[in-house]
Structure 1
């Protein structure tokens, strides 16, 4: 297995300093974010206890970017994530997010492949996989809405038209957010 196939091991000392075991030097959260942007997997381990702290530090990197105004996660998405920790739908969320990001990565790769020889993107091309991602997110929202108290779910009720209208509004909002995300992705290339 080559060095780049293995996760980059970062050790956290008692002083909370982070030590890159490959280069034998101390690193910052920005350095770790750079490794990840460059395609490296990173694993952060507490030197004394041996606990895996990777998740904690990745969340800290995201929080720092968001607090600096580099907003990627809309408030509605953050609210839904918080809500998912307190509902029965929590078991569905990790798989959905992983699948959505995988589709996003595949779409970005296909979009980069679809560029013309002159380096300019084809303005008529749609983002590959967008329809599939949209369908998956709609299915996820239906499953989520059915699991939340007060949304009807399988219990039914006399307010079904109002619930359908609310679900349609939620789906419209998700579609709007996906379109904004697609526009941002197009701007990156």
Structure 2
């Protein structure tokens, strides 16, 4: 059993191959991305020098996803990030981004908590299907950023985003009526 509170240690060999120290096998960037989507923290270290390469590899994962058309970061945001490296805003940007993502995660967590079995609506027929659609909606909107929910776990019923939004709005309306 692994300790999920401790970062998964990945060692980079001189050949640039990445080695998972927990499972004793080689991994790819996509494998590392899956670990992260599943909520696992990773640390990538150069075997020879001991340098922490985590940031470099995370940026590479993002760049590969963006280059495949999985655009999460709008061009304006990327442009502003580049500008922040040469301005006084560089000291504020990391804290702002971290706080923004933390608020996003907290909002998602609260929304998912409202959809748990402890909810009085859980006994309602079709509730589990609505919860699954809510989860799929959050996954689609965040690109799988929710810890513990991977894209492969969400169901793709072929519903378009507008239908999911309508169902979400209806469900939120019902929840607000029940909580009053």
Give aligned pairs, total: 124
What's 2:73 paired with?
Answer: 73
The corresponding residue for 1:15 is 15
Deviation at 1:111, TM superposition (A): 1.4
TM-score under structure 2 length normalisation: 0.65
SS at match of 2:60: helix
Q: Which runs of 4+ in 1 moved over 2 A?
A: 114-117
Instruction: State the match for 2:156 in structure 1.
Output: none
Q: How high is the TM-score relative to the length of structure 1?
A: 0.62
In the aligned structure 1, how far is the partner of 2:23 from the partner of 2:113?
Answer: 34
Higher relative contact order, chain-length normalized (CA < 8 Å, sep 6+):
2
The residue aligned with 1:45 is 45
Q: Secondary structure at the match of 2:62?
A: helix
Task: Determine the C-alpha separation between the residues in 2 that align with 1:16 and 1:62.
Answer: 18
Answer with 1 or 2: which has the greater Rg: 1
| In structure 2, C-alpha distance between the alignment counterparts of 1:4 and 1:111, rounded to whole Å | 24
Instruction: Indicate the RMSD between aligned Cα atoms, in angstroms.
Output: 1.9
Task: Give unmatched runs, 5+ long, in structure 2.
Answer: 116-120, 139-164, 169-180
1:13-53 Cα distance to aligned partner (Å, 9 max, x none):
00000000000000000000000011111000000000000
